[in-house]
Amino acid sequence: MAAAAAAAAAGEDYWGLFREETDWYNEIFLSAVVPGGGGWWRALPHPLRSWLRNCIGGYLLYFATGFLWCFVIYYWKRNAYIPKDAVPTVEAMKKQIIVASKAMPFYCALPSVSEHMIESGWTRCFFHISEVGWPMYFVYVALYLTFVEFGIYWMHRELHDIKPLYKHLHATHHIYNKENTLSPFAGLAFHPLDGILQAISHVIALFILPVHFRTHVALIFIEAVWTANIHDCIHGKVWPVMGAGYHTIHHTTYRHNYGHYTVWMDWLFGTLREPEDLLKKD
């Protein structure tokens, strides 16, 4: 990119800015949460420190989001959003937590690898929004999200259509196929490779589009919050958002609503099924 070329011409290390940023993340976060005095984690190679930060952060985000969602919808607002017979059992949620917990270290390798590639200058990431200006920043964010939406849609659809992929990977997630088995904890209850494949478009986009680094990092972790949301079986009715009402249909029919953030890809490729349509049929 132009900024990187200008920095190189001036003898500055443009890509070092990214490493300084992730070093700062590691220092702030790990010094606050890692047990044991002395900062033993500082002796680890930089990529391992970043993975450790992402992994611990992933666990904390998963459990904080899951328990908060469950407290609100199953206890505090008991039966206000979900019928009593649709509340998942504690046993079902425990199983989801176990599956997600086993997969989390593998999930967190993906953002760690993407950070290393960015720090090495292999991607089109840029550091300062001022390098492109606010109008183009929003254009690039829109293109990035569109690319990610397209990638997740087709990866998810092929995980259903290609039978060996479904049998050996995606079926792990589709054990939870009814309202009384789905919960916010099911959002990350995947086979590790399945979860990585569905998120891989976040990384591929970095080689195709200019992406603001901090925005990329934020969107990766927003994934954890979003997946909890779309598995809580509460239909938010905010068009064109692919809310839980749509995703619950996906878990019950297996052939509809493969999208992630919006309904647009399902509408475009003919796999959209509205929650209202299901109610009319019933």
Domains of the chain: total: 1
Which distant-in-sequence residues (6+ apart) come within 8 Å of 235 by Cβ?
Answer: 243, 244, 245, 246, 248, 275
pLDDT of residue 8: 46
Closest CA to 259 of 187, 94, 75, 267: 267
Q: Is there a domain that residue 248 lies in?
A: no
Task: Flag residues of the chain having pLDDT under 70.
Answer: 1-12, 37, 277-282
Q: Is there a domain that residue 89 lies in?
A: yes
Q: Is there a domain that residue 182 lies in?
A: yes
Q: Is there a domain that residue 271 lies in?
A: no
pLDDT digits (tens, 9 = 90+) for 163-174: 999 999 999 999
Q: Is there a domain that residue 122 lies in?
A: yes
**Range 58-83 burial, b when 16+ CB lie within 10 A, else e:** bbebbeebbeebbebbbeeeeeeebe
- Domain limits for position 228: 1-234
pLDDT digits (tens, 9 = 90+) for 119-140: 999 999 999 999 999 999 999 9
Whole-number mean pLDDT of the chain?
90
Q: Is there a domain that residue 215 lies in?
A: yes
pLDDT of residue 234: 82
Q: Is there a domain that residue 274 lies in?
A: no
Q: Is there a domain that residue 34 lies in?
A: yes
> Global pTM?
0.91
